[in-house]
Amino acid sequence: MGALHTRTLTQLAEGLRRKSFSSVELVGELLARIEKSQPALNAFISVTAPEALAVARAADRTLAAGAGGALTGVPIAHKDIFCTEGVRTSCGSRMLDNFVSPYDATVVAKLKRAGAIMLGKTNMDEFAMGSSNETSFYGPVRNPWNPKLVPGGSSGGSAAAVAARLVPGATATDTGGSIRQPAALCGITGMKPTYGRVSRYGMVAFASSLDQGGTLTASAADAALMLREMAGFDPRDSTSVDTPVPDYVAALEQPIAGLKVGLLAEFFDKGLDEDNERCVREALRVFEGLGASVTQVSLPNLPMSVPVYYVVAPAEASSNLARYDGVRFGHRCENPRDLSDMYRRSRGEGFGAEVKRRIMTGTYVLSAGYYDAYYLKAQRVRALINADFIRAFAAVDVLIGPTTPTPAFPLGAKTADPITMYLNDIYTIGANLAGLPAISVPCGFVQGLPVGLQIVGPHFSEARVLAAAHAFQRVTDWHTRVPVGYT
Amino acid sequence: MSEWETVIGLEIHAQLATRSKIFSGSPTAYGAPPNTQADLVDLGYPGVLPVLNGEVVRMVVKLGLAINARIAPLSVFARKNYFYPDLPKGYQISQYELPIVAQGSLDIVLEDGQVKRVGITRAHLEEDAGKSLHEGLPGMTGIDLNRAGTPLVEIVSEPDMRSAKEAVAYMKKVHTLVRYLEICDGNMQEGSFRCDANVSVRPAGTAKFGTRAEIKNLNSFRFVERAINFEVARQIELLESGRPVVQETRLYDPDKGETRSMRSKEEANDYRYFPDPDLLPVKVDAELIASVRTTLPELPDQKAARFSTQYGLSAYDAGVLTASRELAEYYEEVVRTAPGDRKLAANWVMGDLAAALNKEGLEVSSGKIPAARLGELLRRIQDATISGKIAKEVFELMWSQGLSADAVIESKGLRQITDSAAIERAIEEVMAKNPAQLAEYRAGKDKLFGFFVGQVMKATGGKANPAQLNELLRGKLRG
């Protein structure tokens, strides 16, 4: 057979149902690609080859019987932040290097039920804290378009794996841009749903009020198929929302003529690379060509999103990461002298520098005497940003702008100065603070590197956002391009 | 030296009597082997999330209604952050700025019979922590997380109490109330009901509060009284010798009968409270309040008032008999069975029954004489089958042998002699046997009358009807 990796997730699901090829063949081919890519990309932390092949054999039997779910036999990868029963769930950290989860995250269980097969767990920034995948305990992931460059983060492993066609789709999480930014830097499609659309149960928490699971795929159509199987109310997550999941796949073909597109004025700031801006503006002309109307929209409080985020997210993280104390699971230092020594050394050894920086920042902003000045004020500004978005969506259907200020940057370029690294999320953080669905799709190339276009919609407008992205992808081919060496 | 006034506020922790924990499905039953009643949520595993047990909200709303408090339409769970091995998540989920219940009150009766109103600042929900174990683990600490996630309501009073006795009266009142409401089993040995006491002293007549010490984790009424009294004396001694009271947390050592410093204000944790982003605000609407209101039982104060008017009991007796729902129900059943004399019923329930229960450490529900049986015994006193004195003997046999009153009376032949002829015969025999005493009596030594009563009673095995005996004996002795 061969070359199955060139097909999209949607095509693979269809081909398996038609029995054009077997799941065992497909899984075998992709496992070989993963193994071969690993020294160059380091996209995976764990590969579960024997288990995957066993499930593939069972899937083939199911398919032979004419049964199965929407994704039966389709291989995927999970970001190593999702708990997977019986498989190490490291979250990119030494702290959880020895942690084998006793249960499946809801997302993992749902995709299993839909028939998807996990090939392994993808590399990521430690505890999802990073924008370059350089904070991983397991070493950086490299960008398939140029191994000297970062793939973005924190879902860098998932993005690189999909971009290099090692898997047709991967789960990911987005707290401040961790799906969209690596999607943009790797030239693929990254979908972050509305906060509460996808269950957080079993997703190792970074910043609970911002974290949201989503997808990394080659196309919006693939994202629609995967998200349809992942989304939905979960009684085990109090913040998941009990509202029906539309058939995103069926909604893809809705026409976008008459779609009111808002151009986000604040995103076209002086930090935006000229070439990136050119690609985004060309994309807007494509939307106009499809019958959409484009108007400029201003969200005056949006420029405060980075400082707000870097108060709220570390505050929640400092509390969420307190459970890693060496008592019940995870890393415990050798021969602790006493309780305090065990805490200090277990956490000191288990966490990397960026995680420690955020725990300290978060602890500081929640401290007595500083809470009002930082945490409370940040929450107030967050409410203002939210109100800005709501006002904007009274006038337009979707907001469009760049995903990132620049294309992928070299490894090490921003590690010395955390602020420059944080500014890479300047365009993506707003959607997290307001809990909005947002997608990044490839919209051009600058010096051989992909550029991302971001589409943000009102709460629970995933179907419309996906349809807009799909309409764009029907008339463009940026998303079909594959890096040299991985075709 | 000047007079000192004591100021006390209590923070009572009552375990809510739900079957499962506040944020997980694990059972709350006490005494299981370590860590067998803790699921992944209780263990604080990576990725798990809390889900609020709705029953907990109903229970705390019930409490709020019973203390005439404000029930917040929207309350918020917050994280209280600190490291401790038996605190699995590194934070305790509690309520901080927006508690579910606020501004209630309870009335207590002081020793002089005065009624005092104690303000209740707030009552909020929180999860309990686990337990650290040291016994049998040399050089190590064991962690048992069975208790982690057990639902608690923390009831915080105003600093309204002025003596250890008042504090105990208030704590007992809350204890009675939560058991009436069936929201807490009140078991203090198992830690289901415990309190922290904030204690300070100030010169009598001044308005400014003195510096307070917080005594942690008092789990008996006796300890509360002793710990407060010790603490008050300690603080007065400090102040009178010109030394300051330090704001700190102290522990009571029941063996030594003293409080000891645990940590000072400077060493206190900065808990970095913030709203828990994993939980939505708790909404309590009018409909929920109305539905909980229908489940409210007759409350202790209402019941005591009714006992006073309906049964003609003193405020004190009514208070004692309504201290628990079970005791009140027991009393009412006794009265239903033996309606004649309500005071007699009250005396028996508060006296012989309470003593017997106390002696064996039993609850009224597990006593050996059901209410209807005690009622039958009282009926036999009322219809003069036996005397009150014999009844005590019958009671003991009923208790020890599990028999009915009639069965004991019959089998032991304790039926009272009311046959005048039989009593007269016994009197005549006694007179015949004691001619000397008879002569003395007739010569004017009146106090020998008691001697003759005793002799006749002895001769009849105590069964002669006392009133009849007195009357007949007087006549016979006169000659």
DSSP letter string over A330-364? S---SS-SSHHHHHHHHHHHHS-HHHHHHHHHHHH
The pair of three-digit structure tokens given for residue B336, joined into one six-digit string: 């239903």
pLDDT band at B135 (very low <50, low <70, confident <90, very high): confident
Give residue-wise pLDDT tens across range B269-302: 899 999 999 999 999 999 999 999 999 999 999 9
- The per-residue pLDDT for A2 is 60
Same domain, B117 and B253: yes
**Nearest CA among B90, B59, B242, B226 for reference residue B155:** B59
In chain A, what residues touch B85 (CB-CB under 8 Å)?
A: 325, 327, 339
Strand partners, B215: B197, B250
**Mutant choice from A80, A239, A319 vs B, greatest count of B C-beta within 10 A:** A319
For residue B365, what pLDDT is reported?
87
Instruction: State mean pLDDT over A391-416.
Output: 96
Are B72 and B219 part of one and the same domain? yes
pLDDT at position A150 is: 98
The answer on pLDDT for A30 being more than 50 is yes
Exposed/middle/buried for B29, CB within 10 Å: 0-12, 13-18, 19+?
A: exposed
Q: Closest Cα to residue A292, out of A397, A194, A211?
A: A397
pTM: 0.91
> What ipTM was predicted for this assembly?
0.96
Is the same domain home to B286 and B175? yes
Average pLDDT, stretch B394-419? 88
**Number of domains chain B contains:** 3
In this prediction, residue B468 has a pLDDT band, given cuts at 50, 70 and 90, of confident
* Average of per-residue pLDDT across B177-193: 95
- Each residue of A241-263: pLDDT tens digit? 999 999 999 999 999 999 999 99
Indicate the residue of B48, B83, B143 with minimum beta-carbon distance to A343. B83
Tell me the domain boundaries of chain A.
4-262+396-480
Between A107-111, A470-474, B264-268, B394-398, the lowest mean confidence (pLDDT) is in B264-268
Q: Is the pLDDT of residue B219 over 60?
A: yes
Residue ending a domain, choose from B247, B262, B292? B292
Whether residue B228 is found in the same domain as residue B333: no
Residue B382 phi, psi dihedral angles, 5° rounding? -65, -35
Residue B67 has pLDDT above 70, yes or no: yes
Q: Residue A214 to residues A107, A158, A181, B47, B254: CA-CA distances in angstroms?
A: 9, 11, 13, 16, 57
Mark whether A154 is an active-site residue: yes
The predicted structure's pLDDT at residue B43: 96
Q: What is the pLDDT of residue A307?
A: 96
Average pLDDT of the residues of chain A: 97
CB-CB under 8 Å, B79 with A319? yes
- As a whole number of Å, the CA-based R_g of chain B is 30
Q: Residue B367's domain spans which residues?
A: 300-411
Question: Could you report the per-residue pLDDT of A428-480, keeping only the tens digit for each?
Answer: 999 999 999 999 999 999 999 999 999 999 999 999 999 999 999 999 999 99
Considering the domain architecture, whether residues B125 and B203 belong to the same structural domain is answered as yes
B105 and B235 in a common domain:
yes
- Answer for the pair B442, B448: CB distance below 8 angstroms, yes or no: no
Q: What are phi and psi of B7, to 5 degrees?
A: -125, 125
Set A37, A46, A154, A240: catalytic member: A154
- What does DSSP say about strands B77-81 and A44-47: parallel, antiparallel, or unpaired? unpaired
Query: For residue B419, how many other CB atoms are within 10 A of its CB?
Result: 12
How many other C-beta atoms are found inside a 10 Å radius of the C-beta of residue A97? 16
- Spell out which residues of chain B touch residue A339, defining contact as CB-CB under 8 Å: 85, 141
Amino acid at A468: A
Q: Among B118, B113, B222, B94, which Cα is nearest to B177's?
A: B118
In the 3-class helix/strand/coil scheme, how is A22-36 assigned residue by residue? CHHHHHHHHHHHHHH
Q: For chain B, give the mean pLDDT.
A: 93
- Is residue A79 annotated as part of the catalytic site, yes or no? yes
pLDDT digit string, tens, across residues A203-250: 999 999 999 999 999 999 999 999 999 999 999 999 999 999 999 999
Measured between beta carbons, the chain B residues lying within 8 angstroms of A319 are 79, 81, 90-91, 272, 274
The pLDDT score that the predictor gives to residue B140 is 86
Identify the three-state secondary structure at position B4. strand
**CATH superfamily assigned to domain A4-262+396-480:** Amidase signature (AS) domain (3.90.1300.10)
Distance separating alpha carbons of residues B350 and B346, to the nearest angstrom: 6
Query: What's the rounded Cα separation, in Å, for the pair A84 and A52?
Result: 13
pLDDT of A1 reads 47
Tens digits of per-residue pLDDT, A40-72? 999 999 999 999 999 999 999 999 999 999 999
Query: Does one domain contain both B124 and B176?
Result: yes
Please tell me whether residues B45 and B189 are part of one structural domain.
yes
Residues B221 and B311 in one domain: no
Among residues A178, A219, A305, A461, which one is catalytic?
Answer: A178
The predicted model gives A369-385 an average pLDDT of 97
pLDDT for position B102: 97
Predicted pLDDT of residue B188: 94
- Nearest Cα residue in chain A from B279: A238
Residue B110 near residue B169, CB atoms below 8 Å: yes
Contact at 8 Å (CB) between A354 and A135?
yes
Q: Are A70 and A228 in contact (CB under 8 A)?
A: yes
Cβ of B83 within 8 Å of Cβ of A325? The answer is yes
As a whole number of angstroms, the distance between CA A18 and CA B429 comes to 118
Strand-pair partners of A173: A213
Domain boundary residue, one of B292, B313, B339 = B292
Give chain B positions within 8 Å (CB) of A366. Answer: 81, 272-274
Supply the pLDDT for residue B206: 94
Residues B379 and B454 grouped into a single domain:
no
Instruction: Give yes or no: residues B319 and B340 share one domain.
Output: yes
CB within 8 Å: A367 and B272: yes
Residue that is last in its domain, among B411, B428, B463:
B411
B141 touches chain A (CB under 8 A): yes
CB interface of B with A, residues 12-41, below 8 Å: 40
- Give mean pLDDT, residues A90-113: 98
Distance CA A277, CA A279 (A): 5
Kindly state the helix (H) or strand (E) to which residue A451 belongs, with its residue range: strand A449-456
Is B277–A329 a contact, with Cβ atoms under 8 angstroms apart? no
pLDDT (average), residues B141-162: 96
How many angstroms separate the CA atoms of B403 and B409, rounded? 10
CA dihedral A61, A64, A70, A72 (to 10 degrees): 30
User: Is the pLDDT at A134 greater than 60, yes or no?
Assistant: yes
Torsions phi, psi of B158, nearest 5?
-75, 160
| String of DSSP letters for B177-238 | HHHHTTS----TTTTSEEEEEEEEEEETT--SPPP-EEEEEE-SHHHHHHHHHHHHHHHHHH
Report the CATH number at residue B429: 1.10.10.410
Nearest to B52 by CA among B291, B292, B280, B284: B280
pLDDT at B2: 62
DSSP 8-state assignment for residue A397: S
State whether B309 and B451 are in the same domain: no
- What average pLDDT does the segment A416-437 reach? 92
What residue type is A399 in one-letter code? L
CA proximity to A56, closest of A26, A33, A19: A26
Whether residue B229 has pLDDT greater than 70: yes
Residue B414: per-residue pLDDT: 82
